[in-house]
Amino acid sequence: DSGVTQTPKHLITATGQRVTLRCSPRSGDLSVYWYQQSLDQGLQFLIQYYNGEERAKGNILERFSAQQFPDLHSELNLSSLELGDSALYFCASSEYRDRDEKLFFGSGTQLSVL
Amino acid sequence: AQKITQTQPGMFVQEKEAVTLDCTYDTSDQSYGLFWYKQPSSGEMIFLIYQGSYDEQNATEGRYSLNFQKARKSANLVISASQLGDSAMYFCAMRETYGQNFVFGPGTRLSVLP
């Protein structure tokens, strides 16, 4: 158990809908990362937050947004869903220390858009 | 440009034998970190081993060791005495200090044969 909690584990929804994925980082970790893993594109970095502020942005679509709350949990919002958004979405947390930072992943949310 | 290259999409190894999974990386940073993660069929991402760019010794964690050749920009994972439970996808990743983001390679699927 990595200590990173993601909910829900599975999500089935229809095109055009909106969903929210939730992540609780490990106790003490200030940084949260979101990744998307699809079969044809591997692990793609979406966005990173550090202590409530956006730190880095990757290939995140405009239909997607995220935030990190004062208690450090994070939510990833996906709207106007398309079939191609079906993927495994990972949250990971790390304690931000230069050179010794390690990512610890949650178990992921499997999103299926029908 | 690809920052992390894993040239072996799939590999087979006999149980109890050693296996090397290749990883090459591209960075202009002097300080960076290299990581290996394991993803079994259940989907979770498990941290295996870390190597800092300034570390002179190759990292080891139990049956895992990292063959770090800085001049060649390679960070190969060596698994000794393979076990059936080692069958999984293996991802090499890099964190550049100033990028503050983890970049993942496409992965290598390892199958351990009885």
Which pLDDT value is given to residue A94? 87
Per-residue pLDDT tens digits for B64-91: 999 999 999 999 999 999 999 999 999 9
At residue B5, the pLDDT reads 95
Of B45, B105, B76, B52, the residue nearest A33 (C-alpha): B45
Q: Do B54 and A110 touch (CB under 8 A)?
A: no
In which band, very low, low, confident or very high, does the pLDDT at B1 lie, cut at 50, 70 and 90?
low
Residue A99: exposure state from Cβ atoms within 10 A (0-12, 13-18, ≥19): middle
Which residue ranges of chain A lie beneath pLDDT 70?
40, 96-99
Residue of B nearest to A105 (CA): B45
d(CA B36, CA B90): 7
What is residue B73's predicted lDDT score, i.e. its pLDDT? Answer: 95
| B22 touches A at CB < 8 Å | no
Given CA atoms A24, A80, A40, A49 in this order, what sign does their dihedral have? Answer: negative
Contact residues, chain B, for A103 at CB < 8 Å: 35, 37, 47, 93, 102
Show the beta-strand stretches assigned E in chain B. 4-5, 10-14, 19-21, 24-25, 32-39, 46-52, 60-61, 64-69, 74-79, 88-96, 101-104, 108-113
**Residue B30 pLDDT:** 86
pLDDT of residue A81: 97
Contact B49, B67 (CB under 8 A): no
The pLDDT score that the predictor gives to residue B100 is: 67
Interface probe with A: pick from B45, B98, B103, most Cβ of A within 10 Å:
B45
Residue B30 forms contact with A (CB below 8 Å): no
Whether residue A43 and residue B104 make contact (CB cut-off 8 A), yes or no, is yes
pLDDT confidence bin for B109, thresholds 50/70/90: very high
pLDDT of B28 > 70? The answer is yes
**Average pLDDT score over chain B:** 92
